[in-house]
Structure 1
Amino acid sequence: MSSKGSSNMAKMSLSFDGIVSNDCQQNPDFCMWNVVAFLYCDGGSFLGKGGKDPVAKDTGFKTLSFSASAPIQECTQTKTAATQWRCLFPEEYYKFVFTPMFFANSIYDTWTRPNALKVSCSAKTCPDSNLATVYTNRDAVRALAREISGSSKKHAVFLTACPVHRMMIQPWLSLSVFGSPTMQVTLTAWLRHDETMSGSDVLLDITPAVEQCSSVLNR
């Protein structure tokens, strides 16, 4: 158990940045909103609210309930039993969500590289032997962003070349080094249904991306 999953170990006060900041210069669209922090690593966060026991007794692992989430249910109906798990991924899930969505992601996401791609890259360095894998994933993210942006005007995508993670709750929301137009400007345009503003594509190799974003990475 950790502070992310136990109220007994959680911090009594937290500071918020980015989209949950109360600084109206950094976050003009949401600075006056109330903010609630939910601990999400306690094992109780399941997709949907099915009546079945979410614990698979034969394996001891917890499973997701597909029965109560309408988008997930619609998605799984288009898949075979062996591929229904793909409905947990944004590239499949978003197609069945009616609510407009704003996506923000780094083309060099620092969680994806070690955990999904299984390559040994830090935020600032990446061995040449891993670059082909990293660039293949980068191009896949860019292609998906174009697909989402083109599928419906109600969705918007912001991409950055800065190798970071957890973008929306960091103080980078309004920094031009993070992207131009900035994530905050792109978010505002999406909220106001301004289709002339788009930050849905970016292309930099990883070395110039690190150099461009050095002021962010050194914080």
Structure 2
Amino acid sequence: MDLVLAILLVIVSLLTRGGMCGDRLLVNMTLVRRAAAIGAYCLDGSLPAYHIHRGFGAGARNWLLQFEGGGWCNDIASCAERAQIRRGSTRHMNKLETFSGILSNNATHNPDFYNWNRVKLRYCDGGSFVGDAKFNNGTLLLYFRGQRIWQAIIEDLMPKGLRFAKKALLSGCSAGGLASYLHCNNFNNYLPNATAVKCLGDAGFFLDSPDINLYHTQRTFFQRLVALQGIQKNLDDNCTNSLSDPKQCIFPQYLLRYITPPLFILNSAYDVYQFHHILVPPSADLHGIWNRCKLNPKACHPDQIHLLHAFRVEMLTALRSFLFNSSRGGVFINSCFAHCQSESQDTWFAPDSPQMHNETIAESVGDWYFGRNVSKKVDCPYPCDTTCHNLIGGV
């Protein structure tokens, strides 16, 4: 009877807190029931959510929060479409989420953070968790409440142990990586002074850069995003007071100097999203001259490679002060054609993961967080890095 009871308890634990499916760790969704009290809704009015897998042992009082990514919507039409899919509604999301890479609970796959409390914040506002507005024309109602979603999730996690955190890392990938820059100071303010708070932006260093036709496509996109979703009031005051156009503070390159906790910047110098949407957006290549190059960097012509190298230099120039003046900052800028490298096991920590100076991304981040080694690594230009996976189809 004791054996049967023990087996039943294990099954219940796996169903309620997450379980292994083969080599995958599947973690259940937690809806934030109290979010409605502060008007924290997804685009469609559904409740926000997160997935949590509890830490243990030496990591029981350490917390890793990972913002989910997934682009943005900056007009009513695209936000209305988004509200009907998982990017805008928890009603359409999978209730079980795979935890891998930096979220893995396997010490072999995630040596420094495997036993931490690990939380994935689901993305359903389309504005990198910083909007605060609402649209209602009588027939269509959309909530742009990313800032309140962030607040609701943090307040839900506080009594679950976050308020007693010894170490904390705020991370995210893509639009979630941008959110980790935008919320780093605020995260630090929520936690006790004794907590070692640090932040990691993965593929979130979106450049304010002109496209191949010298139009500022991404700047225009972000300006519309900020205006629609009421983001400006939630941008860093020190940054907005320093620029003639406060909306620009959504770009990490302008915000960087005002982020106070230690920060790690993980990005590809040839980030696939930025290659496809900032440097060569569809509007700048109506005849598809770049199509083959976008699908395979080996098919790029020399003049296209030259422009890609120039884009890399622009990113390094934007990071120059951080690279040379930040004593607490970490950097891993490789030359892989990829986008988001912390959540995928292949790129985070595996036998054939991307490396620089014989260190994987996971090892570099761990060295930085725990102060084991100075970790500022910048790769040589493409195609010199033979460890790249070049996940060019991943966007």
Q: Same fold (TM over 0.5)?
A: yes
Q: Tell me if 1:197 matches 2:363.
A: no
Deviation at 1:147, TM superposition (A): 2.6
Give the RMSD, CA atoms, in angstroms.
Answer: 3.1
Contact 2:264–2:331 (Cα < 8 Å) also in 1 = yes
The TM-score with structure 2 as length reference comes to 0.47
Partner residue, 1:136: 310
Aligned length: 208
Q: Tell me if 1:152 matches 2:318.
A: no
Deviation at 1:116, TM superposition (A): 0.6
Task: Check 1:186–1:86 CA distance in 2 against 1; reply closer, same or farther (3 A cut).
Answer: same
Q: CA–CA distance in 1 between the matches of 2:136 and 2:306?
A: 38
Task: Check 1:218–1:134 CA distance in 2 against 1; reply closer, same or farther (3 A cut).
Answer: closer
Q: CA–CA distance in 2 between the matches of 1:105 and 1:158?
A: 7
Q: Tell me if 1:173 matches 2:348.
A: yes
The TM-score with structure 1 as length reference comes to 0.80
Q: CA–CA distance in 2 between the matches of 1:123 and 1:142?
A: 24
> Which one has the bigger helix percentage?
2
Q: CA–CA distance in 1 between the matches of 2:103 and 2:354?
A: 18
Task: Check 1:45–1:107 CA distance in 2 against 1; reply closer, same or farther (3 A cut).
Answer: closer
Query: For 1:15, what is the secondary structure of its paired residue?
Result: strand
Q: CA–CA distance in 2 between the matches of 1:170 and 1:144?
A: 27
Contact 1:161–1:178 (Cα < 8 Å) also in 2 = no
Q: For 1:178, give the aligned amino acid.
A: P
Partner residue, 2:122: 39
Query: For 1:14, what is the secondary structure of its paired residue?
Result: strand
Task: Check 1:14–1:114 CA distance in 2 against 1; reply closer, same or farther (3 A cut).
Answer: same
5+ residue gaps, structure 1, are none
Q: For 1:169, give the aligned amino acid.
A: E
Q: CA–CA distance in 1 between the matches of 2:322 and 2:295?
A: 26
Query: For 1:103, what is the secondary structure of its paired residue?
Result: strand
State which structure, 1 or 2, has the greater radius of gyration over its C-alpha atoms: 2
Partner residue, 2:248: 86
Q: CA–CA distance in 1 between the matches of 2:251 and 2:136?
A: 22
Q: CA–CA distance in 2 between the matches of 1:30 and 1:131?
A: 37
Deviation at 1:151, TM superposition (A): 2.3
Task: Check 1:11–1:30 CA distance in 2 against 1; reply closer, same or farther (3 A cut).
Answer: same
Query: For 2:111, what is the secondary structure of its paired residue?
Result: coil
Task: Check 1:54–1:86 CA distance in 2 against 1; reply closer, same or farther (3 A cut).
Answer: farther
Q: Tell me if 1:112 matches 2:274.
A: yes
Q: For 1:74, give the aligned amino acid.
A: N
Contact 1:162–1:213 (Cα < 8 Å) also in 2 = yes
Residues 34-79 of structure 1 deviation map (CA, whole Å, 9 limit, x = unaligned) = 3333332434655266xxx46599x99623433345xx11101111
Q: CA–CA distance in 2 between the matches of 1:31 and 1:43?
A: 29
Of all paired residues, the percent bearing the same amino acid is 22
Q: CA–CA distance in 2 between the matches of 1:214 and 1:37?
A: 25
Q: CA–CA distance in 2 between the matches of 1:46 and 1:34?
A: 21
Residues 129-155 of structure 1 deviation map (CA, whole Å, 9 limit, x = unaligned) = 422321111112233344313222111
Q: CA–CA distance in 2 between the matches of 1:35 and 1:192?
A: 17
Q: For 1:65, give the aligned amino acid.
A: I
Q: For 2:378, give the aligned amino acid.
A: D
Q: CA–CA distance in 1 between the matches of 2:331 and 2:86?
A: 31
Q: CA–CA distance in 1 between the matches of 2:328 and 2:136?
A: 38
Task: Check 1:182–1:167 CA distance in 2 against 1; reply closer, same or farther (3 A cut).
Answer: same
Task: Check 1:147–1:124 CA distance in 2 against 1; reply closer, same or farther (3 A cut).
Answer: farther
5+ residue gaps, structure 2, are 1-83, 138-223, 282-289
> Which one has the bigger strand percentage?
2
